[in-house]
Amino acid sequence: EAAGPVQIYRVYYDSPGKDTGSNSSLNAEWVQIINRGTKTRQLKGWRIHDRTGYTYTFGSFKLGPKKTVKVRTGRGKNTSANRYWGRRWYVWNNTGDTAYLRRPSGSLADSCSWSKKGSGHKYC
């Protein structure tokens, strides 16, 4: 099955410095979603989750064609470029994990895995 236009582009799973749990450190951990298509996509109900099951669900949000949005782990004010999960601790395991992107129906749209600590980020 061909990948749809909405995909995981990059995961920054290891924020720089020590994992202190500060909001700025949490927000340096993120998943970037890209719309590779030519039409704006409504992401309401789309979900991102890890192997453990920690889940972020998009509210009403439109992603334009050829645009990206980062879903940051910590707290902040949602914008067209950044959405905030609102968590108070990290989601992505530095030593290996998988980010899953699911459609509102629950079907898998994309996933991105890493197996060990490397550069702290991965292009998917």
In this prediction the pTM is 0.95
Domain coverage including residue 65: 6-123
Whether residue 72 is contained in a domain is answered as yes
CA dist., res. 86 & res. 77, Å (int): 10
Number of domains in the chain: 1
- Reading the chain (124 residues) residue by residue, the pLDDT tens digits are 456 899 999 999 999 999 999 999 999 999 999 999 999 999 999 999 999 999 999 999 999 999 999 999 999 999 999 999 999 999 999 999 999 999 999 999 999 999 876 789 999 9
Whether residue 1 is contained in a domain is answered as no
Whether residue 67 is contained in a domain is answered as yes
Q: Given this model, what pLDDT does residue 4 score?
A: 87
Whether residue 57 is contained in a domain is answered as yes
Q: Given this model, what pLDDT does residue 1 score?
A: 47
CATH number (domain holding residue 50): 2.60.40.1260
